[in-house]
Amino acid sequence: MEDKKTLLEGINRYCSPNSILIIDKHGVLRRLVCPFKVVVIIENQVEKKGNIVFVEAVKISDDLFLLYLIGKTLYPYYLFAIVL
C-alpha cells in the first residue's frame, strides 16, 4: 500500500496533468498537450462508439490507472484511441 502511495506521489510531482507522452506510428516520442482529440472505441453510458471528444486533463487513479478528464467525468484511457 505504501509503495503505491509513494509511486503516486512521485508521478504527481514529476508529471503534468496537462499533457501526455506517446510514441507515434513512426516510433517518435511526442508530447500531446491538453486538450487533445480521442475517439471512443468502447461505448459506455455517456459516449457512443465513434464519437470524437477532447481530453481536458490526464490523471492517475489511486490504483495507478490512467484516466482522461472529459467534460466533468474521469474515464479510463482504454475506452479511447488518440487521434493524431
Cell matching residue 34: 491538453
**What per-residue confidence (pLDDT) applies to 13?**
79
Residue 72, number of CB atoms within 10 A of its CB? 6
> What per-residue confidence (pLDDT) applies to 8?
78
Distance between CA atoms of residues 26 and 61, nearest Å: 30
The answer to whether 58 and 75 are in contact (CB under 8 A) is no
Is the link from the previous residue into 35 a cis peptide, with omega within 30 of 0?
yes
In the chain, which residues have pLDDT < 70? 1-2
Please state the pTM of the whole predicted model. Answer: 0.84
